[in-house]
Structures are given as C-alpha cells and as structure tokens.
Amino acid sequence: MSSEQKNSPVPAGMGIRFLAITLDWVAAGLIISGASRQSYGYQLQRLGLFFAEVFVLTALMGASAGQRICGLKVIDATTGGAVPPMRAFIRTGLILLVLPALFKKDGVAYHDSMCNTKVVRR
C-alpha cells in the first residue's frame, strides 16, 4: 500500500451520516422548543436554526455539531482541504431539499457531488 493510500481520508458511510444529521435536527428542535413557548412557526424556526448551525459550523470548523460528535468532517473533494463558505452555504441549502437521502451508484450523496465535497471520518 502506498503512503498516499494510507493518508487518504476514509469516506463516511450512510449510517453514520444519517446519525449525524439526526443529531443536528434533534438539537435544533430541543433548542427551539426550549427557547420558544409558542407552537406557531415551530418547524420553520427549527429549520432555520438547523440551516444556520450546519452552514456556520461547516464553513468555520469543517463539520456540523452532529458530524463532530460522530467523528466526521466535510472536505473539498478535489483538494482535501476546507470547503469554501459559499459552497458550504449551497451544500446546506441542498440538504434542506432532502438530497442527502439520494445517493449515486458510487455511494456519493447528490448534494456532495453537486458541491464537490466529501464527508470523511476524522
């Protein structure tokens, strides 16, 4: 095995990725329910907080809270480096369209393919 293969990041599987996004979604719900006593607009507020959390943490730290807990990281698929903020923004928007549930034959989620990103184990 070459040194390049030893140092290449290991792609994250669907199961761990699903757990990470579920943790982010549950956290957003708990925060909104704790901060707001009214049920009107609850899901929209939750969606907004989820978007903000995933986008900001991915752009700044390379992973959402759920991904960090699960030991995952979002990287640029070409360079292996950090994902630029604009691509993190677009990627998060595509997540809201439920594209993470759709995977191509090669095991790459459509939102990652469209944004040239990859989710790997840290």
Domain regions of the chain by residue span:
11-121
What is the pLDDT, as a whole number, of residue 39?
66
66: tokens are 């759920």
Helices 14-35 & 42-61 angle (0-180, nearest 10): 120
The pTM for the full model equals: 0.86
Average pLDDT, consecutive stretches of 10 residues, N- to C-terminus, the chain (122 residues):
62 92 95 76 89 98 98 96 97 87 77 92 92
What are the distances in angstroms from CA 122 to CA 48, 49, 81, 94, 114? 27, 25, 13, 23, 22
